[in-house]
Amino acid sequence: MLRYGPTTALIVVDLQNDFADPAGSLSVRGGEEVVGRVNDQVQRAVAAGAPVFYTQDWHPASTPHFAKDGGIWPVHCVADTWGADFHPNLIVAGESVRKGRDGEDGYSGFTVRDPTTGDERPTGLEASLRQLRVTEVVVCGLATDYCVRATALDAARLGFRATLLTDAVAAVDLASGDGERALTEMSAAGITLEPGAPGDAWGVPG
């Protein structure tokens, strides 16, 4: 039974105003409710001595990632704006990993991809986890069918034992059922799906 500890990192994905706040430009339905559930996990992780990392979209004002510049998404999480800030109720108790700073598609916390050529390069997240001798990661945040999915799949691909907290995520569902399909894909990739609710295995080791 997996518990938080020094070799198990919590990865909080993109709990930023543009995604989590109802007034955000790419607001995810139910995103604000996720914040409190994630805070519970942050407190449990910190109490157990587990490292916590926060991914953060950090885009320039113009990027092929945005619809106005040829992409598919409305303008969101532009660097140094309200939309890019973490939700004010989020407990931030760890290192931030900013992605998409040079105009890339920043879905995964581990890699960014050039939206024109498709070339990928790593962020600093994997190196930080390796330095801390982390072997297991717990993923939560927004959104299930995009950045959460990409981060969890990359974690598994890189050899980390990965768990997704299913009640601490929410989906965009651009097409109906996208969130459920993402969960099925992650499970098929060997990612453990756990509820992560209070009273389960995700507490402080005792």
The model's pLDDT over 143-175, given as tens digits with 9 standing for 90+, comes to 999 999 999 999 999 999 999 999 999 999 989
206 domain residue, yes or no: no
pLDDT score at 72: 87
Q: Which residues does the chain have with pLDDT short of 70? A: 1-2, 196-206
Dihedral sign, Cα of residue 166, residue 40, residue 27, residue 117? negative
Please give the Cα distance from 97 to 121 (Å, whole number).
14
**Whether the model pTM is above 0.75:** yes
pLDDT score at 204: 41
pLDDT score at 203: 44
Tokens of 124: 């600093």
200 domain residue, yes or no: no
Please give the Cα distance from 22 to 165 (Å, whole number).
22
Task: Count the domains in the chain.
Answer: 1
- The CATH code of the domain that includes 76 is 3.40.50.850
19 domain residue, yes or no: yes
- Tens digits of per-residue pLDDT, 94-113? 999 999 998 888 899 999 98
Phi and psi at 151, nearest 5°, equal: -65, -45
Q: Which helix (H) or strand (E) holds 164?
A: strand 161-170
199 domain residue, yes or no: no
66 domain residue, yes or no: yes
181 domain residue, yes or no: yes
Q: For residue 36, give Cα distances in angstroms to 18, 30, 73, 94, 140.
A: 17, 11, 26, 17, 12
110 domain residue, yes or no: yes
Structural domain boundaries enclosing 88 = 8-194
pLDDT score at 201: 42
CB neighbours of 77 closer than 8 A, spacing ≥ 6? Answer: 14, 16, 18, 19, 26, 56, 57, 58, 59, 83, 84, 100
Please give the Cα distance from 52 to 12 (Å, whole number).
8
